[in-house]
Amino acid sequence: MSLHTFNTAITDPIEFGGDPAVATSRLTGPATVITADNARDIAGICETIDDAADRANHGRDWWPLSLSWSLQNQVPRIPGLVCKPRTTEEVSKLLAYCNTHGIAVTASGGRSGVCGAAIPLREGVALDMTNMQSVESVDEVSGIIEVLAGTFGPDMEDAARTHGLTVGHFPQSFALATVGGWVACRGAGQYSTRYGKIEDMVHALEAVLADGTIIRTGGAPAGAVGPDLSQLLLGSEGTLAVITRVWLRAHPLPEVERRGAYVFDTLTDGFEACRRIIRNGATPAVLRLYDGAESKRSHGGNGTNATLLVLDEGTEQLIDATMAIVHDVCMSMGATVGDVALVEAWTHHRNDTSGLQALTRKGYVVDTMEIAANWADLDNVVEAVETAMLAVPGARSSTCHLSHSYIEGACIYFTFAATPSAEEFESTYLALWDAGQRAALAAGANLSHHHGIGYSRSQYMEQALGTSMQVLRSVKNALDPKGILNPGKLGL
Ligand SMILES: Cc1cc2nc3c(=O)[nH]c(=O)nc-3n(C[C@H](O)[C@H](O)[C@H](O)COP(=O)(O)OP(=O)(O)OC[C@H]3O[C@@H](n4cnc5c(N)ncnc54)[C@H](O)[C@@H]3O)c2cc1C
């Protein structure tokens, strides 16, 4: 029996300020034009849509800046044609055609990305993968689910549950995002401390290269067969290949669930408790530590103290032992036991983004930035990012929570807001990101933990990867020499 409580009721992204059929592109730059001959040829390969409103919708995702542009009836860039293949073979033929004719192809799933990764920066073809939705097979003995890339989270997980299995991947955007999008962005779910990130869940992949070649990667529990090519495609954001099929690792449905809440004097005490919990070998599915402001907003904390929410599920003995370690560590750090109703409040509101959307409609700048850093650097990263963001003129708040933990460090998720004048909205948004991202990198954090790079973070890739950026460029040139796959993303 399932013990999860899903709240998949996420409201739609912000509406257009007028008729989307007459929306215009906000961004300019080189474009690959689709001629009438191209459109006719492509229509012979797969389903195509050239309706203006549909094309406009495929010109944006949930990148907050583009959502605010929608209110002005603008999208970042409108593709020439939307293509919706149904099979891997159709994807293969489409890519081979576009490669021959030099047409840019930007894959998309649910377009729930928050960094503009699915924006067709060079127009061309928007390759919508959502016709490829199906759970193809379930291996109950090994616990492997084969799914087409355009399948949305609830459909995959519901099918797994009918076989007594769970994949355990529950991002806040569970209902909005596809399995292919999870893989392409190296996503993380809210139960990641037990089940891992998506890169830990992929058993094998099928993908199509720019020239139409169909490849398969992985397929064994572990290997020493050269570099792991699944990991090369994980996080490639549609720039190296189009993922068509994914085999996901699945776990038996949990027997029991346990919850707990702990209140700390300071965020630093809470970080130390999380570090000790993980280093003691306890990996509760949910281990989320909120600063005072966020704990009030997220689940009704007192607004001053840091709150740690814990939820674990699995086999009774294991989960009880895990929760006992959590309790002992928290007590040793001077925490007080919080009301378990705080966890209940979190589970009910965890996927509700309507508050953020309402602020955007009112003209607030509001966005989130997630990074990962080692335990030794966490305090400095938080201090540096919040100081840098709050120094931006118009900044109102910068708060954070720890959302995912690892043996050597954690993900910190910042939420920031500003109230600029309408004229300064965009410059303030960009200044906040720039201040936060540069401060995070300088303090030892990475560039992204699970939202990816997309368009909005591309400019920081050189700084983040250093000389390794050349390796990424070489891989790109080898796999996609004409540069047709999602041009302009990942800093490429
Ligand atoms: C409210 C909200 C909450 C969110 N919460 C989380 C969260 O908890 N955890 C998390 O990890 N993310 C979260 N996100 C971000 C987003 O949902 C993820 O990045 C998700 O993985 C994107 O999936 P998608 O199907 O929407 O992909 P899209 O946005 O359509 O595409 C994202 C990128 O993946 C590429 N892509 C998509 N499908 C394929 C494919 N089949 N082959 C190759 N490339 C492909 C696109 O080209 C693009 O570069 C959230 C977003 C929103 C709006």
- 427-446 tens-digit pLDDT: 999 999 999 999 999 999 99
Mutating to test ligand 1, I would choose from 173, 230, 286 the residue with most ligand atoms within 8 A of its C-beta, which is: 173
pLDDT of residue 13: 78
* Ligand 1 atom with minimal separation from the 183 CA: 21
pLDDT of residue 362: 87
- Is 180 near ligand 1, meaning CB less than 6 Å away? yes
The answer to whether 131-252 and 256-349 have equal CATH topology is no
Rounded distance, CA 240 to CA 94, Å?
15
Q: How do the domains of the chain map onto residue ranges?
A: 131-252, 256-349, 354-456
* Ligand 1 atom with minimal separation from the 182 CA: 21
* Ligand 1 atom with minimal separation from the 190 CA: 8
| CATH class belonging to 354-456 | alpha beta
Phi/psi of residue 126, nearest 5 degrees: -95, 115
| pTM, entire model | 0.96
Angle of CA points 436, 437, 442, to nearest 5°: 100
pLDDT of residue 361: 84
The residue whose C-alpha atom lies closest to atom 16 belonging to ligand 1 is 113
* Ligand 1 atom with minimal separation from the 107 CA: 47
User: What distance in angstroms lies between residue 269's CA and the mean position of ligand 1's atoms?
Assistant: 33
pLDDT tens column, 272-329: 999 999 999 999 999 999 999 999 988 888 889 999 999 999 999 999 999 999 999 9
Ranges in the chain, pLDDT < 70: 1-12
User: What distance in angstroms lies between residue 405's CA and the mean position of ligand 1's atoms?
Assistant: 21
The distance in angstroms from the start CA to the end CA of the chain is 46
The CATH T-level fold of domain 256-349 is: Alpha-Beta Plaits (3.30.70)
Residue 320, number of CB atoms within 10 A of its CB? 12
DSSP H helices in 353-443: 354-361, 378-390, 425-442
pLDDT of residue 157: 97
Contact 291, 399 (CB under 8 A): yes
Rounded distance, CA 172 to CA 100, Å?
39
pLDDT of residue 14: 85
Mutating to test ligand 1, I would choose from 87, 105, 108, 490 the residue with most ligand atoms within 8 A of its C-beta, which is: 108
User: What distance in angstroms lies between residue 111's CA and the mean position of ligand 1's atoms?
Assistant: 6
Per 3-state DSSP, what percentage of the chain is helix, strand, and coil (rounded to 5)?
Answer: 40, 25, 40
pLDDT of residue 341: 94
User: What distance in angstroms lies between residue 280's CA and the mean position of ligand 1's atoms?
Assistant: 33
User: What distance in angstroms lies between residue 462's CA and the mean position of ligand 1's atoms?
Assistant: 23
Rounded distance, CA 254 to CA 260, Å?
17
Residue whose C-alpha is closest to residue 67's, from 416, 405, 365, 395 = 365
- Is 239 near ligand 1, meaning CB less than 6 Å away? no
| CATH class belonging to 131-252 | alpha beta
Residue whose C-alpha is closest to residue 196's, from 262, 145, 251 = 251
- Is 112 near ligand 1, meaning CB less than 6 Å away? yes
- Is 85 near ligand 1, meaning CB less than 6 Å away? no
pLDDT of residue 360: 83
